[in-house]
Structure 1
Amino acid sequence: MTDGPLHKDLPLPDYDHLPVGTLPTRIHGLEEADVAQLVSYEKAHGNRLPVLQILEKRLQDLQAGAAPSGPRTPDTPEVSDSATTPQPASTPGPPVNPPSQGVPTNPAQPRT
């Protein structure tokens, strides 16, 4: 059994799937206890140095008096399930007219 909090108890949904680059904005609205929980989870499970550096820096800032700002649980569109997310319909572009000297693939053939 691993030490630290369980994944289901983490303050961020899909924490394990968040890109490292979005982590600072994702944790900005969390309280000190929430960030400490993420640090503990990361040390017990992934132990990724860049992630720990981000989390520990934010924890130090909160301990020094920084206030959480932003939503507590921000949207995470980068980890949404593409099977349930509607995709935009593709639309055809404008018609392509061949140049006046002929069709690009066969210059000897005149335009129709």
Structure 2
Amino acid sequence: MTTPDRSKLPLPDYDELNVGTLEHRIRSLGVPELDQLLHYEHEHADRAMVVQVLTARKRQLDAGAPLSGGNPAARKADVAGHGQGGSPVSPATSPEPSSPPPHGTPDQRGKPKGNRTGG
């Protein structure tokens, strides 16, 4: 078996995936696709954790586990509907800035500290 070209892998961004992301993205792949990724992994980086994840998923499928839905080639940003990172907070949705009082509460101000004498 020849080493598959990176562009022909079932996950186009395979080399850029961390183990946690890979674990979720392979859930919709069948045994032939997993075999292709395993072969590619052994021929290139041969990362022990990646091989372990791919092998474990292959065993699950051999035991009758179902494929999950979804597109294994979809990147997280594609699925979420917006770019990576960022926050839905904008200047329009941000609260007005406020500074907490240095002591006490807004309704009950604290007393300034003074010299204390024993009594």
TM-score (norm 1): 0.67
> What is residue 117 of structure 2 aligned with on the other side?
none
- Cα 1:100–1:49 shift into 2, 3 Å: closer
The range that moved more, 16-25 or 26-35, is 16-25
The range that moved more, 56-65 or 45-54, is 56-65
> What is residue 10 of structure 1 aligned with on the other side?
9
In the alignment, structure 1 residue 59 sits paired with structure 2 residue 58: yes
> What is residue 80 of structure 2 aligned with on the other side?
none
SS of match in other structure, 1:66? coil
What's the % identity of the aligned pairs?
A: 39
8 Å CA contact 1:26–1:73 kept in 2: the answer is yes
2: CA distance, partners of 1:98 / 1:50: 48
Corresponding letter in the other structure for 1:31: G
The range that moved more, 30-39 or 90-99, is 90-99
- Cα 1:96–1:33 shift into 2, 3 Å: same
In the alignment, structure 1 residue 30 sits paired with structure 2 residue 29: yes
Corresponding letter in the other structure for 2:7: K
8 Å CA contact 2:3–2:43 kept in 1: the answer is yes
2: CA distance, partners of 1:100 / 1:17: 48
| Unpaired stretches in structure 1, ≥5 consecutive residues | 79-84, 102-112
8 Å CA contact 2:10–2:73 kept in 1: the answer is no
Cα deviation, 1:80-109, whole Å, max 9, x if unaligned, reads xxxxx48557426413257489xxxxxxxx
2:98 is aligned, of 96, 102, 105, to 96
TM-score (norm 2): 0.64
SS of match in other structure, 1:69? coil
| Unpaired stretches in structure 2, ≥5 consecutive residues | 78-82, 104-119
